[in-house]
Amino acid sequence: MRRITLTENWPLLLGAFGWAAMLAIASALPHGSSIFERNPWAAWQLTPAVSVPLLLAGALYVAGAWRGPGRQGAGGRHAAFAAGLLTIFIALQSPIEGLADHSLAVHEVEHMLLRTVGPMLLVLADPQARLLRGLPAWLRRGLVAPSFSARAVRLPFGILAKPVVATALFVGVGAFWMLPRYHDLALADDRVHWLMHISLIVTGLLFFVRLLDPRHPPYGPSLAARLLMCWFAVITTILIGFAVTFSPHVLYPGYQSSGLLWGVSPRLNEIYGGQTGWIPGSMMLIVALLATVYRWARQEDRDADRRSRDADRVVVGGAEFAATQRPRNRALALGLIGFAVMVLGLAFGSVLVYEASPHHGFPPLQRGGHHVAG
């Protein structure tokens, strides 16, 4: 029987110790709704079911980075992975998690961190090899490798990883949890709330794994497919934010049951929430688009450099190489311009539709007992 060593298994032992330690610490942290009345920003929490998997992922990554080759020049990836884990931790364990039940704007920030910012940072780190190396050999060879090679795993993942499917899940799950019935259900039921969080993280990871795949076709999506993935995600984010912001009725009465913060009215809570999901949410997706184009260009540079150093091929001159790349660059520029025009057109079109609608104008706001004219 193979001997199990402490050096090999320390990430798992750290996870077990962290679970026990966090259970003890969590019991001493403030709980209950009264904390929000006194100081909502003090409502930090350590839930083992959240914190321990993040701690374990960080430990496996560190172990894999230490054991593997190429430790130099990976500082950016290390920072991206750490920032991704920290983003998810802040979304689920900081006061944001508690405040999200009382403010749609904060809830939208939490969702943006869980489905966009955190997954994007984790995928930019390209952590797969390091995480696998960080696992104990007995676990990697006995469970992970057979599972990944099994047809029952590869076939469903191959379907889910298709750009159309990954984008549909990313957009569809985000839109589903904004439906008033299910959004309010998540506010009232902790089990549904955690299902919402898990689904947002999983579909976010799946979306960005395909969007930021460094490989070119046929193994990775084409640049046109990536632009369309971003376009659909941005358009859906804008439309949902617009619908919430300019709805003539209160959509989410669940926040009134939880208790609204900062003295805002139910409708103003939704106006702030819709604008938060609309503007910062779409901006984060545009950042993802820029990261996609940057990674695509870097991979093209690597491919060109590899071809130029191939001893069996003739080195292409600078002018000739530029001529061969000109059609691709032109298509990329036109795609980016078209993307920007579509987003701007939708934004202006939304404003025109709103101006022409019979429900024109925000509901009157009250300050100090007086109506404020719009």
Instruction: Evaluate whether residue 323 is within a structural domain.
Output: yes
Examine residue 163 and state whether it is found in any structural domain, yes or no. Answer: yes
CB 173 within 8 A of CB 200: yes
Q: At 366, which helix (H) or strand (E)?
A: strand 365-367
Question: pTM to 2 decimals?
Answer: 0.80
Q: Do the domain assignments include residue 1?
A: no
pLDDT the model gives residue 178 = 97
Query: Do the domain assignments include residue 278?
Result: yes
Domain that holds residue 318: 6-372
d(CA 164, CA 158): 12
Per-residue pLDDT of the chain (374 residues; tens, 9 = 90+): 445 555 566 666 666 666 666 666 655 555 544 455 556 666 788 788 888 889 889 988 988 888 877 556 688 999 999 999 999 999 999 989 989 999 999 999 999 999 999 999 999 999 999 998 888 887 788 878 788 788 888 888 889 989 999 999 999 999 999 999 999 999 999 999 999 999 999 999 999 999 999 888 888 899 889 989 999 999 999 999 999 999 989 999 999 988 887 778 999 999 999 999 988 998 899 889 888 888 887 777 777 667 666 645 555 555 555 555 556 666 666 666 666 666 666 655 655 555 555 544 444 443 333 443 33
Element (H, E) at 276: helix 266-308
| 242 domain-assigned | yes
Residues 15-35 as b or e (16 or more Cβ within 10 Å = b)? beebbeebeeebeeeeeeeeb
Q: What is the dihedral of CA 46, 126, 203, 250, to 10 degrees?
A: 60
Domain total in the chain: 1
The answer to whether residue 293 sits within a structural domain is: yes
Non-local (6+) Cβ contacts of 73 within 8 A are none
Structure confidence at residue 257 (pLDDT): 86
Closest CA to 273 of 141, 158, 177, 159: 177
